[in-house]
Amino acid sequence: MKRLLTVMLALVLALGLAANASAITVGFSQIGQESDWRTANTDDLCSAIEAQGWTLVYDDANQQQPNQIRALRNFITQGVDYILFTGVVSTGWEEVLKEVNEAEIPLILVDRMPDCADVIDYACAFGGDFVEEGRRMARWTGEYMKSIGRGEEEINVVMLEGTTGADAAVGRTEGILEVLPEYENLNLVAQQSGNFTRAEGQAVMESFLKSIDKIDVLLAQNDDMGLGAIDAIKAAGLVPGEDIIIVGCDSVKAAFEAIVAGEMNATIECTPLYSPFVIDAINRLEAGEVFDKTVIHPEEGCFDSVGGIEYAEGKLSVKAADVIDERVY
């Protein structure tokens, strides 16, 4: 009898927990699917939320801020328990995020920070240190050119920037412009947005190649634009990775493959895999823990064709060919 009661109690508890788990609803406003990084980020978060048995309300904004604002308001109307938010640009969110605050829905910022972060309430934030990523792109380039005996040669650099107004683009540009002048031979001769997509990376690179006589280095603020540019470079009769050194950012598997194939030279890591942080945060919020507003930047390495190039103080690149099998996205 006692054993039966114990079993029944365990069953009731388990059912209670399961019911509780499915009672959590998470609204996720994603900006779109512009890159391999973004696809990995979406898959990672959505599958982790569903694996918890929580209800996911997902909205893909197709790169349009009005769509995101509408989605956030829909989440409020639906009464979701948590909101995950990545803004396509950094401005223009204060009004709607204050509405989220008024509705008392805990807000978790993922990947990018809105510029109103100081005047709204958010539970926690996990994102890239974009300025540091830009610094690393420039430092790797300067050190690599030295390592191949081109440290004194005048080098023309072009830059493909990300979505205009996105902090990922603004920050990477800032970091690149901060470090490039430390290498007097590196001259930035053109910069333009390729919107973080392969198609636009290819189109902008085509126009760079038509208007600039000599391009030695391409800094692509994400791998997808760099991969698009490879097609433009080949179409112009040049050899990507040799005639034009290509440095990307994100470290997606397709970039590793391009590096191993000799068509790209390096990529700086920016992880899309935030689910361990987000799931842990929601569980801790459920338990009533209070967070400080520290932004966590889980930044890691730099992967390239040679290995051993300094890309940040005391940090050396890893040869992509040696670790390509470990890359899952």
Residues that bind ligand AHR (CB under 6 A): 34-35, 37-38, 111-112, 128, 168, 196, 222, 224, 249-250, 270
Q: Whole-number minimum distance, CB 113 to ligand AHR, in Å?
A: 10
Nearer to ligand AHR, 44 or 250 (CB): 250
Cβ(232)–Cβ(276) below 8 Å: no
Measured from the CB atom, the residue of 25 and 141 that comes closer to ligand AHR is: 141
Give min distance, CB of 314 to ligand AHR, in A.
Answer: 24
Which residue, 34 or 200, has its beta carbon nearer to ligand AHR? 34
Q: CA-CA distance, 317 to 304, in Å (whole number)?
A: 7
Distance in Å, CB of 264 to ligand AHR, minimum:
15
What span, in angstroms and rounded, lies between the C-alpha atoms of 76 and 72?
6
The SS3 assignment for 199 reads helix
CB closer to ligand AHR out of 250 and 310: 250
The least CB distance from residue 34 to ligand AHR, in Å, is 5
How far apart, in Å, are the Cα atoms of 276 and each of 42, 46, 54, 104?
13, 12, 15, 24
Comparison of 38 and 139: residue with beta carbon closer to ligand AHR: 38
Q: How far is the CB of 68 from ligand AHR (least distance, A)?
A: 14
- Residue 154 C-beta: closest distance to ligand AHR, Å: 30
Rounded CA separation 239/46 (Å): 39
Cβ distance to ligand AHR smaller for residue 54 or 130: 130
CB nearer to ligand AHR: give 251 or 317.
Answer: 251
The CA angle 19-24-30, to the nearest 5 degrees, is 145
Where helices occur in 103-197 by DSSP H, the ranges are: 130-147, 167-179
Q: How many CA atoms lie within 13 A of 187 on its CB side?
A: 10
CB contact at 8 A, 285 and 106:
yes
Closer CB to ligand AHR, residue 81 or residue 129? 129
From residue 178, alpha-carbon distances to 131, 174, 200 in Å are 9, 6, 25
The CB-of-222 to ligand AHR minimum distance in angstroms stands at 4
| H/E segment holding residue 203 | helix 198-211
Bridge-based pairing state of the strands 245-250 and 217-220:
parallel
To ligand AHR, the closest distance from the beta carbon of 311 in angstroms equals 16
Query: Which helix (H) or strand (E) is 126 found in, with range?
Result: strand 124-127
